[in-house]
Amino acid sequence: MANSKYEYVKSFEVEDEVMFPNLIVVRIDGRHFRRFSEVHEFVKPNDEKALNLMNFCAMVMLEEYPDIVFAYGFSDEFSFVFKKTSKIYQRRASKVLSIIVSFFTSLYISKWREFFPRRDLKYCPSFHAQVISCASIEVLQAYLLWRQNVCHINNQYDECYWRLVKRGMTGMEAQAYLAAEKRDKNDVLFDEFSFNYNILEDIFRQGSCVFKAEVEDIVKYNEEGPVKRLRRKTKIVHSKKIASKSFWKEHPILLKELGSFVEEIDKVKPEYYIRSFEFENKLMPSTWIIIRIDGCHFHRFSELHEFEKPNDERALNLMNSCAMAVLEEFQDMVFSYGVSDEYSFVLRKNSYLYQRRASEIVSSVVSFFTSMYVMRWKDFFQEKVLKYPPSFDGRAVCYPSSEILRDYLSWRQVDCHINNQYNSCFWKLVTSGKNKREAQHEMKGAQLQKKLEELGIEYDKILAMFRHGSSIFWDKEDSIVEHHQNGNLSDSHMKKIMLENCDIIGPKFWLEHSSILDEKQ
């Protein structure tokens, strides 16, 4: 990143490393998935296609991230367990959870058609995520038992609820009936519907385990016949007790990468698992919150999808479109600034979005942005197929004053300015005949302004979006006079989202749009 007087703002960034020997678990959950399942007409109480899509995405996750050795999922959630020696992203919780939820979201949309070929996505799905830090293999065992118990209890309830609804009850009547019912849900199903819960498919009752198993595979043939070697292949299994010693012993890779269970456990007390698993990093109150997202490996992504150099207007417009959608979705956001493959979103100072839980805010924003990026790709790149799912990482940073917040945004715009000057010169050299190594050598230590003049680049004529980045914010429209039935008149101000490519370092922009950083909002 570029050096400037605004660099000090980086000191507000707090690292959130999950220290050894804690095991890292990332749990993702569908965001507003009850509504999503209704809009997309999922079969009730369980839609096997929807579960198979979740399972497929989990399998790809294990193939993409070798440090994930086990995953357990049901309904719209999945927990990914990393090997005990993992150093993925140097164990920074925000980076790990944001990339995992982003890539999973991207996969979910990319593979939707394979599981629902006749059903269009009517709006973008997204997920929450959090990191669970398990201090020992015993805590992981308790966590897995807890999640499978939740799967079991929820599925029994849903089976009862939807059968009651199909029999003629309203949703509220079915809820009231089950709340008052003292019988075990298995008994309700048998007594009321002559249904034996135990014959229900394993995928619904037990959830799905995803892991890599060592299997013999033919790697080649020689004169003596096939040559076989042990290889790891991802598989899905359904087991009644995933937290049992016997299940773990059946799969040596789990023992090797995670450790062995010492005792069998049957119950987990709620107060125990809440203390052990659900550590929440709440962001400091009465501070501006920045959520900054960055494209993951976007240098490779841009090359593979043949983005124009040094700037691709379509790619930037796609980023801007997604950022505008984020502001519409999370209306506590008052401003965003983007350049290249990054965007910074500003949450108002008194926002209480998700009770200011960092993991939920970051994962929701990153997942929603990723979802929009994949869904709107064709709107900007009609002739280009998305060759693999893109992903983004994210983090949350708190700034105590509007002055420091403005310095943060100035830092990002200075970075945009210097990087764009460098890239303009670099790609001019490349298009003039030099290879990339020669261009890098010539640019080393060069004064950018002087180099622009030498290369005949009229920098001021370059598109403002490339030079200044993009600022997106809520702004008030002209007041509208409303006539009421009682004859009174009132003024109301409608808000709209604005996009400008302008200088945000100087005071002019902030004087013209003083409402953005108004702390009384």
CB count within 10 Å of CB 259 equals 17
- CA 368/CA 354 separation, integer angstroms: 15
Greater pLDDT, 519 or 481: 519
- What pLDDT was estimated at residue 252? 87
- What pLDDT was estimated at residue 232? 77
Q: Compute the 3-state secondary structure of the chain and give helix, strand, coil in percent, each to the nearest 5.
A: 45, 20, 30
CB 148 within 8 A of CB 72: yes
Mean pLDDT, rounded, of the chain? 90
Tokens coding 474: 């809520």
- Does pLDDT of 3 surpass 70? no
Tokens coding 227: 């040559």
Token match 């996009």: residue? 499
- CA 33/CA 419 separation, integer angstroms: 40
CB 205 within 8 A of CB 196: no
Please compute the mean of the pLDDT values over residues 358-384 and round it to a whole number: 96
Which is nearest to 288 in space by CA: 380, 381, 389, 361? Answer: 361
pLDDT tens, residue by residue, 37-81: 999 999 999 999 999 999 999 999 999 999 999 999 999 999 999
- Burial state string for 356-368 with b = 16 or more CB within 10 A and e = fewer than 16: bbbbbbbbbbbbb
Token match 């450790």: residue? 259
* Residue 240 neighbours by CB under 8 Å, 6+ apart: 206
CB count within 10 Å of CB 231 equals 13
* 455 band by pLDDT with thresholds 50, 70 and 90: confident
Which is nearest to 243 in space by CA: 147, 144, 150? Answer: 144
* Residue 165 neighbours by CB under 8 Å, 6+ apart: 44, 171, 174
Task: Tell me the percentage of the chain whose pLDDT exceeds 70.
Answer: 92
- CA 72/CA 238 separation, integer angstroms: 10
Please compute the mean of the pLDDT values over residues 152-178 and round it to a whole number: 93
Task: Tell me the percentage of the chain whose pLDDT exceeds 90.
Answer: 70
Rg from Cα positions in the chain: 27
* 1 band by pLDDT with thresholds 50, 70 and 90: very low
Q: Is the peptide bond before 45 cis (omega within 30 degrees of 0)?
A: yes
Please compute the mean of the pLDDT values over residues 505-509 and round it to a whole number: 95
The amino acid that residue 382 corresponds to is: Q
- Burial state string for 334-349 with b = 16 or more CB within 10 A and e = fewer than 16: bbbbbbbbbbbbbbbb
- CA 459/CA 453 separation, integer angstroms: 9
* 503 band by pLDDT with thresholds 50, 70 and 90: very high
CB 414 within 8 A of CB 2: yes
Q: Residue 25: enclosing H or E segment and its boundaries?
A: strand 23-30
Q: What is the DSSP letter of 10?
A: G
CB 134 within 8 A of CB 259: no
Q: Is the peptide bond before 270 cis (omega within 30 degrees of 0)?
A: no
- CA 438/CA 433 separation, integer angstroms: 10
297: left (phi over 0), alpha (psi -120 to 50) or beta: left
pLDDT tens, residue by residue, 371-381: 999 999 999 99
pLDDT tens, residue by residue, 172-208: 999 999 999 888 999 999 988 999 999 999 999 999 9
pLDDT tens, residue by residue, 99-138: 999 999 999 999 999 999 999 999 999 999 999 998 889 8
pLDDT tens, residue by residue, 467-500: 999 999 998 765 555 555 666 655 555 678 999 9
Please compute the mean of the pLDDT values over residues 222-251 and round it to a whole number: 85
CB 23 within 8 A of CB 84: yes
CA dihedral 424, 430, 436, 437 (to 10 degrees): -100
DSSP string, 408-450: HHHHHHHHHHHHHHHHHHHHHHHHTT--HHHHHHHHTT--HHH
- CA 16/CA 326 separation, integer angstroms: 25
Token match 């693999």: residue? 388
Q: What is the DSSP letter of 284?
A: P
